Protein backbone atom coordinates (compact mmCIF):
# COMPACT_ATOMS: atom_id res chain seq x y z
CA UNK A 1 0.00 0.00 0.00
CA UNK A 2 1.27 3.44 -0.93
CA UNK A 3 -0.38 6.20 1.10
CA UNK A 4 -0.15 9.78 -0.12
CA UNK A 5 -0.04 12.36 2.68
CA UNK A 6 -1.88 15.65 2.44
CA UNK A 7 0.05 18.76 3.42
CA UNK A 8 -1.75 19.12 6.74
CA UNK A 9 -0.62 15.64 7.78
CA UNK A 10 3.01 16.47 6.94
CA UNK A 11 2.83 19.73 8.88
CA UNK A 12 1.41 17.99 11.95
CA UNK A 13 4.19 15.42 11.77
CA UNK A 14 7.18 17.66 11.07
CA UNK A 15 6.14 20.53 13.34
CA UNK A 16 5.06 18.10 16.08
CA UNK A 17 1.62 19.63 16.50
CA UNK A 18 0.63 18.78 20.10
CA UNK A 19 -2.92 17.74 19.24
CA UNK A 20 -2.29 15.95 15.94
CA UNK A 21 1.29 14.66 15.95
CA UNK A 22 0.55 11.62 18.14
CA UNK A 23 -2.36 10.60 15.90
CA UNK A 24 -0.37 11.04 12.70
CA UNK A 25 2.68 9.24 14.10
CA UNK A 26 0.52 6.32 15.30
CA UNK A 27 -1.29 6.05 11.97
CA UNK A 28 1.95 6.10 9.98
CA UNK A 29 3.51 3.53 12.31
CA UNK A 30 0.50 1.25 11.79
CA UNK A 31 0.74 1.76 8.05
CA UNK A 32 4.43 0.86 7.99
CA UNK A 33 3.88 -2.14 10.27
CA UNK A 34 1.34 -3.42 7.75
CA UNK A 35 3.95 -3.09 4.99
CA UNK A 36 2.73 0.24 3.66
CA UNK A 37 4.83 3.12 2.46
CA UNK A 38 4.26 6.86 2.41
CA UNK A 39 4.37 9.26 -0.48
CA UNK A 40 4.07 13.01 -0.82
CA UNK A 41 3.57 15.20 -3.83
CA UNK A 42 5.65 18.09 -5.03
CA UNK A 43 2.55 20.15 -4.23
CA UNK A 44 2.91 19.29 -0.54
CA UNK A 45 6.55 20.35 -0.64
CA UNK A 46 5.50 23.71 -2.06
CA UNK A 47 2.87 24.23 0.62
CA UNK A 48 5.17 23.16 3.46
CA UNK A 49 7.96 25.50 2.38
CA UNK A 50 5.88 28.67 2.57
CA UNK A 51 5.51 28.94 6.35
CA UNK A 52 9.15 28.26 7.09
CA UNK A 53 10.31 30.72 4.44
CA UNK A 54 8.08 33.44 5.88
CA UNK A 55 9.23 32.76 9.44
CA UNK A 56 12.90 32.32 8.54
CA UNK A 57 13.05 29.47 11.06
CA UNK A 58 16.27 27.65 10.14
CA UNK A 59 15.58 24.71 12.45
CA UNK A 60 12.16 24.18 10.90
CA UNK A 61 13.66 24.45 7.41
CA UNK A 62 16.12 21.72 8.36
CA UNK A 63 13.31 19.53 9.72
CA UNK A 64 11.36 19.81 6.47
CA UNK A 65 14.49 19.24 4.37
CA UNK A 66 15.16 16.07 6.36
CA UNK A 67 11.58 14.87 5.94
CA UNK A 68 11.55 15.38 2.16
CA UNK A 69 15.03 13.84 1.78
CA UNK A 70 14.11 10.72 3.78
CA UNK A 71 14.49 7.70 1.46
CA UNK A 72 11.37 6.18 3.09
CA UNK A 73 9.30 9.07 1.69
CA UNK A 74 8.39 8.60 -1.96
CA UNK A 75 8.27 11.90 -3.82
CA UNK A 76 5.51 12.04 -6.44
CA UNK A 77 6.24 14.39 -9.30
CA UNK A 78 3.61 16.48 -10.98
CA UNK A 79 3.61 15.06 -14.50
CA UNK A 80 1.65 16.13 -17.58
CA UNK A 81 -1.00 13.51 -16.77
CA UNK A 82 -1.27 14.88 -13.24
CA UNK A 83 -1.75 18.43 -14.52
CA UNK A 84 -4.67 17.40 -16.71
CA UNK A 85 -6.68 15.56 -14.03
CA UNK A 86 -7.22 18.40 -11.47
CA UNK A 87 -9.49 20.34 -13.81
CA UNK A 88 -11.77 17.31 -14.02
CA UNK A 89 -11.70 16.92 -10.24
CA UNK A 90 -12.44 20.61 -9.65
CA UNK A 91 -15.31 20.57 -12.12
CA UNK A 92 -16.88 17.44 -10.65
CA UNK A 93 -16.31 18.06 -6.94
CA UNK A 94 -15.65 21.80 -6.56
CA UNK A 95 -12.45 21.23 -4.57
CA UNK A 96 -9.80 23.95 -4.36
CA UNK A 97 -7.08 23.89 -7.01
CA UNK A 98 -4.31 22.60 -4.76
CA UNK A 99 -6.56 19.97 -3.19
CA UNK A 100 -7.47 18.79 -6.69
CA UNK A 101 -3.80 18.69 -7.61
CA UNK A 102 -2.95 16.63 -4.49
CA UNK A 103 -5.68 14.12 -5.28
CA UNK A 104 -4.75 13.94 -8.96
CA UNK A 105 -1.13 13.27 -8.05
CA UNK A 106 -2.12 10.43 -5.72
CA UNK A 107 -4.44 8.87 -8.29
CA UNK A 108 -2.06 9.19 -11.24
CA UNK A 109 0.80 7.64 -9.25
CA UNK A 110 -1.32 4.67 -8.20
CA UNK A 111 -1.55 5.40 -4.50
CA UNK A 112 -4.01 3.22 -2.64
CA UNK A 113 -4.83 5.76 0.09
CA UNK A 114 -4.91 9.52 0.58
CA UNK A 115 -4.42 10.55 4.22
CA UNK A 116 -5.73 13.97 5.24
CA UNK A 117 -7.35 15.97 7.99
CA UNK A 118 -9.61 17.77 5.51
CA UNK A 119 -13.09 16.26 5.90
CA UNK A 120 -14.42 17.63 2.61
CA UNK A 121 -11.91 15.53 0.68
CA UNK A 122 -13.45 12.41 2.18
CA UNK A 123 -16.15 12.47 -0.50
CA UNK A 124 -13.65 12.02 -3.34
CA UNK A 125 -14.51 8.68 -5.02
CA UNK A 126 -11.41 7.94 -7.14
CA UNK A 127 -9.15 6.85 -4.27
CA UNK A 128 -9.84 5.79 -0.69
CA UNK A 129 -9.51 8.91 1.47
CA UNK A 130 -8.88 8.53 5.18
CA UNK A 131 -9.72 11.58 7.24
CA UNK A 132 -7.85 11.68 10.54
CA UNK A 133 -10.05 12.22 13.57
Q: What is the pLDDT of residues 51-79, one digit of tens each?
A: 888 999 999 999 999 999 999 999 999 88
Q: What is the pLDDT of residues 99-123, one digit of tens each?
A: 999 999 999 999 999 999 999 999 9
What are the CA-CA distances from residue 74 to residues 2, 66, 100, 125 (Å)? 9, 13, 19, 23
* In the predicted structure, residue 80 carries a pLDDT above the cut 90: no
Q: What is the pLDDT of residues 10-58, one digit of tens each?
A: 999 999 999 999 999 999 999 999 999 999 999 999 999 998 889 999 9
Res 131: pLDDT: 97
| pTM: predicted TM-score of the whole model, two decimal places | 0.94
Identify the CATH number of the domain defined by range 2-131.
Answer: 3.40.50.1010
Rg (C-alpha) for the chain, rounded Å, is 14
Helices 42-55 and 97-108: crossing angle in degrees, nearest 10, is 140
Domain boundaries along the sequence of the chain:
2-131
Q: Identify whether the C-beta of residue 132 lies closer than 8 Å to the C-beta of residue 115.
A: yes
Half-sphere exposure of 39 (CA within 13 A, CB side): 23
* In the predicted structure, residue 84 carries a pLDDT above the cut 90: no
**Rounded distance between C-alpha atoms, residue 39 and residue 126, angstroms:** 17
Phi, psi of 131 (to 5 degrees): -100, 120
What is residue 75's three-state secondary structure? strand
**Rounded distance between C-alpha atoms, residue 31 and residue 101, angstroms:** 23
Res 13: pLDDT: 97
* In the predicted structure, residue 82 carries a pLDDT above the cut 90: no
Res 46: pLDDT: 92
Res 81: pLDDT: 83
Amino acid sequence: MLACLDTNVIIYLVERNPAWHPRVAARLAALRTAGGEIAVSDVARLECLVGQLISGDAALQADYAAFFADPAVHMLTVTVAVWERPALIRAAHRFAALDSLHLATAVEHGCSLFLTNDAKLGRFPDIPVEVLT
